[in-house]
C-alpha cells in the first residue's frame, strides 16, 4: 500500500470511529476522531461535513457553518454541505436568534465578572429556552448554580448538558464537583453500631464472650440510687457547663450571621435573588407575601425590559424614539446599582436623538394649535431632560397646558421654569405667566 492509500485508510478509520461516537452523543470523542480524520485527508468531505454536524449539535452554529464552507470549497461537486449552508442562510430569523444568543452569552460572562450572578442566571435561562442545544450556555448556568449553592438546579442542568454531549470534560468536571460536595455534606451521618461481644487472648486461643449483664432484680435498688445521683449530677453539669457553652455558641452563630449578611450587602449582588428568597420566607403571611411578590415581579420585569432594550439598541431593530418610550416605562426604584448604571448608559445614548425628534414634533403641534399632541410629545421630552433646549421645552409644555385650559399643570411647569432658570429672560417670562394665571384665578374666586 502506498503512502496515499495508507493516509486514506487512516482517515476512513477515524471517520468511522467519529460516526460511532456521534450516534451515541459522545460529541467530544467524535470531534477528536473527526479532526484526526481530516488531518490525514483534508478532502474527506464526509468527515468534514460530519464534523460540522457535531458542532451544530453542540449549539456552536458559527463553527459548523465555517466547517461546511471549507468543505464546499474543497469539494464543490455533489456536496451535502451546500444544502446545509443553504438551509441555514434561508432561515434569516433563525440566524438572528443564534446571533442574539451568542451576544447574550457574552453579556452573561460580563455580568459574572461584575458580580451579577443573578442577572446572568436570568439571561442564561432565556438563552437555553431559545437555543436548547447551546451546550456552553448550559455549562455556564450550571456553574452559576453551583457557585450560588443551588445544587438541585445545578444537577438538573448538568443532566441536560450531559444528554447533549455525554463525555464533555467540562460537564463531567462539574458533575464530579457536585458529587464531591454532596458526599462532603452527607459524611458523618453513618450510624455506628455498639459492640455486642468482648474478645481477649488466653494463651494461643482467642476467647469471645457476650457482654455480661447484671441481674436486674438483685441490682434494682442500687440502680435507682445511681439514676437519682446521675440525674442530679446531670442537671448540675447542664446548668453550670453545658448551658453557658450553648448560649455562647448561639451568640457566636448570631454574630456570624450578622457578619455574613453584611458581606452580602457589601458585594452588591442583584436584588432579584434576595427578593425571591424573601418572598419564599414570607409566603405564609398574606399581605406581606403579596407585597414581596409584586416587588419581585416588578424587579424581574424591569431587568428583563432593560436587557431587551440593550439588545434592540445593539441590533438597531427599533428606533431611538421607541426605545426611549420603553426606557421611560422602567421603574428605576426596582433596579439595583448595576441596573441603574446600565439604564443611565442606555439613556445617554438614546435620549438625545429622541428628545430632538419629539421636541420638533411638539413645537409643530403647538404651532397648529394641536395642544393635546403637543403636551404628549413635550411631556416625554421633559421626563427625559427637564433642562432640554435651556428650559424652552418645559416652558413650551407649560404654554400648551395653559392653551388647553389645564391651568394647574401650567402653573406647576411655569413655577419649575421660574425656579430652575431664575434671573434669565426665560425665567422672568415664566414668572410673569405664573403671576398672570394666579391673578386670573384670584379674580374668579372673588366673583
CA distance 276 to 279: 5
Cell numbers at 403, concatenated: 392653551
Q: What is the pLDDT of residue 195?
A: 46
Residues 6+ apart with CB under 8 A from 162: 168, 171, 172, 175
Cell numbers at 422, concatenated: 431664575
CA distance 72 to 63: 14
Q: What is the pLDDT of residue 221?
A: 63
Cell numbers at 440, concatenated: 386670573
Q: Which superfamily does CATH assign the domain made up of 96-183 to?
A: Tetratricopeptide repeat domain (1.25.40.10)
Write the pLDDT tens digit of every residue in 253-268: 655 554 454 455 445 4
Going by CATH, does the domain composed of 3-90 fall within 3.40.50.720? no
Same fold, 3-90 and 352-446: yes
Which ranges of 61-206 does DSSP label H, i.e. alpha helix? Answer: 61-74, 80-90, 92-113, 117-130, 135-147, 151-164, 169-186
Q: What percent of the chain has pLDDT over 90?
A: 45
CA distance 324 to 346: 9
Going by CATH, does the domain composed of 352-446 fall within 1.25.40.10? yes
DSSP secondary structure letter of residue 78: S
Instruction: Give the SS3 label for residue 197.
Output: strand
Q: Kindly tell me the burial class for residue 222, based on how many C-beta atoms sit within 10 Å of its own C-beta (0-12, 13-18, 19 or more).
A: exposed
List, as own/partner pairs, every contact residues 403-409 make where C-beta atoms lie below 8 angstroms and the sequence separation is at least 24, other chains included.
403/366, 403/369, 403/371, 404/371, 404/372, 404/375, 407/437, 407/440, 407/441
Residue 141 CB coordination number (10 Å): 25
Q: What is the pLDDT of residue 320?
A: 86
Cell numbers at 48, concatenated: 468534514
Q: What is the pLDDT of residue 185?
A: 74
Q: Name the more confident of 268 and 81.
A: 81
What is the mean predicted confidence (pLDDT) over 407-424?
93
Give residue 18's pLDDT band: very low, low, confident or very high (50, 70, 90).
very high
Q: What is the pLDDT of residue 116?
A: 87
Judge whether residue 281 has pLDDT over 80: no
What is the mean predicted confidence (pLDDT) over 380-385?
94
DSSP secondary structure letter of residue 239: I
CA distance 228 to 234: 10
Give residue 218's pLDDT band: very low, low, confident or very high (50, 70, 90).
low
SS3 assignment for 244-289:
HHHHHHHHHHHHHHHHHHHHHHHCCCCHHHHHHHHHHHCCCCHHHH
Domain residue ranges in the chain: 3-90, 96-183, 300-350, 352-446
CA distance 303 to 101: 17
Write the pLDDT tens digit of every residue in 145-195: 999 989 989 999 999 999 999 999 999 999 999 898 888 877 655 444 444
Q: What is the pLDDT of residue 184?
A: 80
Length of the chain: 447
Helix or strand run (H / E) with residue 210: strand 205-210
Write the pLDDT tens digit of every residue in 398-407: 999 999 999 9
What is the mean predicted confidence (pLDDT) over 19-44?
93
Using an 8 Å Cβ cutoff, are 324 and 380 in contact?
A: yes
DSSP readout, 42-60?
TT-HHHHHHHHHHHHHTT-
Which ranges of 282-406 does DSSP label H, i.e. alpha helix? Answer: 286-315, 320-329, 337-367, 371-384, 392-404
**Sign of the torsion formed by the C-alpha atoms of 241, 244, 250 and 256:** negative
Q: Which of 101, 11, 8, 7 has its CA nearest to residue 51? A: 11
Q: What percent of the chain has pLDDT over 70?
A: 74
Judge whether residue 219 has pLDDT over 80: no
Write the pLDDT tens digit of every residue in 93-146: 888 888 898 999 999 999 999 888 899 999 999 999 988 999 999 999 999 999
Judge whether residue 236 has pLDDT over 70: no
Using an 8 Å Cβ cutoff, are 98 and 204 in contact?
A: no
Give residue 270's pLDDT band: very low, low, confident or very high (50, 70, 90).
low
Q: What is the pLDDT of residue 262?
A: 45
Instruction: Give the SS3 label for residue 198.
Output: strand
What is the mean predicted confidence (pLDDT) over 1-30?
90
Amino acid at each position: 500500500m502506498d503512502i496515499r492509500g495508507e493516509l486514506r485508510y487512516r482517515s476512513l478509520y477515524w471517520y468511522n470511529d467519529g460516526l460511532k461516537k456521534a450516534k451515541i452523543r459522545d460529541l467530544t470523542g467524535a470531534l477528536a476522531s473527526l479532526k484526526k480524520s481530516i488531518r490525514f485527508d483534508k478532502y474527506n468531505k464526509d468527515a468534514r461535513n460530519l464534523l460540522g454536524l457535531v458542532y451544530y449539535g453542540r449549539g456552536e452554529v458559527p463553527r459548523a457553518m465555517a466547517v461546511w464552507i471549507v468543505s464546499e470549497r474543497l469539494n464543490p461537486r455533489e456536496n451535502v454541505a451546500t444544502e446545509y449552508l443553504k438551509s441555514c442562510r434561508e432561515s434569516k430569523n433563525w440566524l438572528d436568534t443564534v446571533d442574539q444568543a451568542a451576544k447574550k452569552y457574552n453579556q452573561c460572562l460580563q455580568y459574572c465578572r461584575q458580580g451579577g450572578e443573578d442577572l446572568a442566571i436570568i439571561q442564561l435561562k432565556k438563552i437555553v429556552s431559545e437555543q436548547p442545544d447551546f451546550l456552553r450556555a448550559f455549562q455556564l448556568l450550571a456553574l452559576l448554580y453551583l457557585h450560588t449553592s443551588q445544587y438541585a438546579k445545578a444537577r438538573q442542568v448538568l443532566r441536560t448538558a450531559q444528554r447533549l454531549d455525554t463525555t464533555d470534560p467540562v460537564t463531567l468536571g462539574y458533575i464530579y464537583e457536585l458529587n464531591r460536595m454532596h458526599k462532603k455534606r452527607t459524611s458523618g451521618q453513618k450510624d455506628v453500631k455498639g459492640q455486642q461481644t468482648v474478645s481477649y487472648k488466653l494463651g494461643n486461643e482467642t476467647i469471645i464472650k457476650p457482654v455480661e449483664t447484671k441481674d436486674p432484680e438483685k441490682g434494682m435498688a442500687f440502680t435507682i440510687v445511681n439514676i437519682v445521683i446521675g440525674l442530679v449530677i446531670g442537671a448540675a453539669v447542664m446548668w453550670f457547663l453545658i448551658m453557658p457553652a450553648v448560649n455562647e455558641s448561639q451568640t457566636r452563630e448570631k454574630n456570624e450571621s450578622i457578619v455574613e449578611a453584611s458581606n452580602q450587602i457589601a458585594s452588591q449582588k442583584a436584588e432579584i435573588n434576595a427578593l425571591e428568597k424573601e418572598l419564599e420566607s414570607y409566603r405564609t403571611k398574606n399581605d406581606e407575601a403579596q407585597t414581596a411578590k409584586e416587588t419581585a415581579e416588578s424587579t424581574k420585569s424591569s431587568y428583563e425590559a432593560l436587557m431587551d432594550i440593550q439588545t434592540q439598541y445593539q441590533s438597531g431593530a427599533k428606533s431611538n424614539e421607541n426605545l426611549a418610550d420603553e426606557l421611560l416605562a422602567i421603574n428605576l426604584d426596582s433596579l439595583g446599582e448595576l441596573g441603574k448604571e446600565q439604564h443611565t448608559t442606555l439613556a445617554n445614548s438614546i435620549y438625545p436623538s429622541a428628545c430632538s425628534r419629539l421636541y420638533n414634533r411638539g413645537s409643530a403641534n403647538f404651532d397648529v394649535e394641536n395642544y393635546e399632541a403637543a403636551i404628549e410629545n413635550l411631556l416625554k421630552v421633559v421626563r427625559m431632560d427637564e433642562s432640554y433646549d435651556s428650559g424652552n421645552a418645559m416652558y413650551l409644555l407649560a404654554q400648551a397646558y395653559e392653551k388647553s385650559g389645564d391651568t394647574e399643570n401650567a402653573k406647576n411647569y411655569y413655577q419649575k421654569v421660574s425656579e430652575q432658570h431664575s434671573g434669565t429672560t426665560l425665567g422672568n417670562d415664566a414668572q410673569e405667566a405664573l403671576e398672570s394665571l394666579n391673578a386670573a384665578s384670584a379674580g374668579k374666586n372673588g366673583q
